Amino acid sequence: MRNQKAKRNLEDTYLIVGFGNPGKGYQNTRHNLGFKAVDLFCSQLGLHLSNRRFQALSSSTNYHGKKVVVACPQTFMNLSGLSVKYLFDYYTPEVRNLMVIHDDLDLGVGRLKIVRGGGAGGHHGVESVIFHLMTNEFNRIRIGVGRPRYDEPIEDFVLSPPYEDQKKPIKDILYSVVEAIELFIMNGVESAMNKFNSLTMREKEVER
């Protein structure tokens, strides 16, 4: 009976992690869209990231009968996996219940893509998670930031704010990211993929 209860607890625990860099200087950069998505999710649930353990800002709640832990690592991007490992070891969710949210250069602005498994695609935060968890079988929400227009070095590009004409579609897509998180928790990653992977903000506006 105890083992069955423990199994149910693991199955009903979800870990949602947004990536970014700590500090006001990074707050509005492309690399911090994972932080922004988690902040928006928390604001809609009335949560505050007040727990400072695990080298992260985190909080937890009961969401439709499921334990949901949300976190923003404070290790800087390239070491994000260290914080995820600490969180993962403490809360012990199943790998399939881990969702990482991050910016993505290979997606256009106003797009998101939900994936499970696969490589890091050159994203150092995802590389760090794969290294520390020793698996790539977790889920990710990739938020499109596109490529530099003006031949900026990639490091400068991701550590800069979006171009003026990109700010609104990026702000809008963050609401879709929050919806995707909710659907992931309620119905699983496949359901979230089916709804959001073919969606752009233009299509969504027409749909409304």
List the catalytic residues.
Answer: 31
Write the DSSP string, 37-72.
HHHHHHHHHT----B--TTEEEEEEEETTEEEEEEE
Tell me the backbone φ, ψ of residue 29, rounded to 5 degrees. -85, 165
Give alpha helix (H) positions in 60-153: 80-91, 124-133
138 contacts 129 by C-beta, under 8 angstroms: yes
3-state SS assignment for residue 100: strand
Beta strands in the chain (DSSP E): 13-18, 56-63, 66-73, 98-104, 112-116, 139-144
Token pair recorded at residue 30: 């492309």
3-state SS assignment for residue 103: strand
